[in-house]
Copies of this chain bind each other. A is one copy, B any other.
């Protein structure tokens, strides 16, 4: 595969790729020069140039549609094609957010239906679909916790507890919402250290952010105790629902004592990751928080769907009503699978992860030697000690076997972490190929460590100079001075 020129290098002055009507009227006042822009240096290409350029670029990507993509914490499951066909139906793709409600009853019905489905699945009482992604869902939930305490006249609570295993968005969210983030050390078994938790709780604690199952892929056995402690201290329980794929259909986050949570539609409900987005991060909460939700939410009034603003809403976190295109896909998915299908999703996600665990734990270090949920965390520390090959080397070598590496070096508390989330849409045959590759790589690390250090070998580019990229950032093309 050869280097693809930049689109700017394909430009030819005067070439056009658009087909638009001519300007055939002169109704508007001529614009004064002070309003007008100078030169606009966009590329000038024809449709064939553009199609080829982006088609060739697309082929340089690895993707779910081309192979196994076991990125831990990302739930890279298959994105059903039927969702894409539904999302582009004109009645969904070409409606304006401000249309009169009577002209968008179908759209409101989808949102109302999805709110209810998520309420049921989460074991919560209310849902807002507004947040654009998981991190924005967290932000929303934490602001709701703040608003809740404020509304009760409880103005002292300025701390959010976050386990040290948490995803980066959790501490970043606490800070963005204006809280002090207090980190909570995990126990040796990967669980929350109850003693440390008790020591941290006080009337300054607004709440705790917990991921269920945790980012270690483990179900917290003391979860009911934890929520009891937190609630007793006057705090609220925030659930990071990024890992809902482990629970869906069998276990409801709400039943575990959580007061508010977000759900990543782009994970559990398989809206495509899109190379980094868009996502959708609806927030679900118990009744005590329902009136703080960002608005509007959709309610049903007789046979009519209508928007309603929660009475003590924290306000908007985003324009309009959320990432509706993702709502449509998630609604389609849940309607397709039903409860039985969703149960199967979480079961197979768990079986697949445990199968990998069982088949690799003799070769890779298993930091938490217990049953896992939908993902398994391994560590390359034994291999590093024995061979000098790092987890990064292992990851790059996986590429040579035609697969995408797992998430690496996260969670931070596991040295040389390999975080493997196969998802339920992968077959045993695919897992066996992965297991086989991982075992061979462990052997190669011993036999020929250089093979790993220099990996990947089959890609268009070899390892890239990231340090140089950050030291002297080249973030845009510039026309060479002529």
Interface residues of A (CB under 8 A from B): 2, 10, 12, 15, 19, 46-49, 51-52, 55-56, 59, 64-67, 78, 80-81, 336, 402, 425-427, 429
Contacts and interface: CB of A to CB of B under 8 A. Distances in A.
A341 to B, nearest CB: 10
A2 B429 CA distance: 17
A46 B427 contact: yes
21 contacts: A10-B429, A12-B427, A15-B427, A19-B336, A46-B427, A47-B78, A47-B80, A47-B81, A48-B64, A48-B78, A48-B426, A48-B427, A51-B81, A52-B66, A52-B67, A55-B65, A55-B66, A56-B66, A56-B67, A59-B59, A59-B66
Contacts of A56: 66-67
A347 B471 CA distance: 52
Given A19-B336, A427-B46, A52 B81 contact: no
A190 to B, nearest CB: 31
A167 to B, nearest CB: 26
A427 B15 CA distance: 10
A429 B52 CA distance: 14
* CB-CB nearest 6 A-B residue pairs: A48-B78, A55-B65, A48-B425, A51-B65, A55-B66, A2-B402
Contact of A51 (B15, B19, B49, B78): B78
A468 B223 CA distance: 68
Given A46-B425, A48-B425, A52-B67, 10 more contacts: A2-B402, A12-B427, A12-B429, A19-B336, A46-B427, A48-B426, A51-B78, A51-B81, A55-B66, A59-B66
- For A10, A46, A52, A402, which residue has the most chain B Cβ atoms within 10 angstroms? A52
A92 to B, nearest CB: 15
Contacts of A51: 65, 78, 81
Contacts of A15: 427
Contacts of A426: 48
Contacts of A64: 48
Task: Specify which of A48, A59, A80 lies most central, judged by the most chain B CB atoms within 10 Å of its CB.
Answer: A48
A114 to B, nearest CB: 20
Nearest to A50: B81
A12 B432 CA distance: 14
A162 to B, nearest CB: 35
A224 to B, nearest CB: 37
A151 to B, nearest CB: 47
Nearest to A401: B2
A271 to B, nearest CB: 16
Nearest to A56: B66
Nearest to A336: B19
A456 to B, nearest CB: 13
Contacts of A55: 65-66
Contacts of A429: 10, 12
A66 B60 CA distance: 12
Nearest to A68: B52
Contacts of A19: 336
Contacts of A46: 425, 427
